[in-house]
Structure formats: C-alpha cells, structure tokens
C-alpha cells in the first residue's frame, strides 16, 4: 500500500468497535445532500391505529371494520 491512510490514530489504542463507530460517524457526514433532504419513510401501521378525522371517529375506532 503506497497510499497515505485517510484516518490515523495519533494517541491511544482504540478498539476495533471504537474505530468502526468513528468511521460510521465520519461517513455519515459525507452523505449526498439529495438523499438527506428526504424525510423519513412513514410506516402505515402507526396511521392505522389513529382514529379517522371524522366526528364520531373515537367511537368508530374501537369497532371492527
């Protein structure tokens, strides 16, 4: 390997887990902007537990559909 390392430890002896956590944190900083701008994907199951937006919805939410 003739290339210079991207990250070097100058003090201490980190465990492999600590190095992996550091590299994950550094890699997450360099994610392209377009993939960061999207909001989290919402699952449909939390919405199904909420009552509908109609007036008697709190009563109807406990009844089978």
Could you tell me the pTM of the whole model?
0.42
Mean pLDDT of successive 10-residue stretches along the chain, which has 65 residues: 82 94 87 62 68 64 69
Q: Which ranges of the chain would DSSP assign to H, the alpha helix?
A: 16-29, 33-37, 44-49, 57-60
Taking the C-alpha atoms of residue 3 and residue 37, their distance in angstroms, rounded to an integer, is: 34
């Amino acid at each position: 390997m003739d290339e210079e390392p991207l990250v070097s430890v100058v003090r201490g002896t980190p465990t492999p887990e600590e190095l992996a956590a550091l590299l994950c944190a550094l890699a997450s900083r360099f994610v392209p902007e377009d993939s960061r701008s999207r909001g989290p994907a919402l699952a449909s199951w939390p919405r199904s537990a909420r009552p509908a937006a109609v007036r008697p919805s709190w009563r109807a939410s406990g009844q089978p559909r």
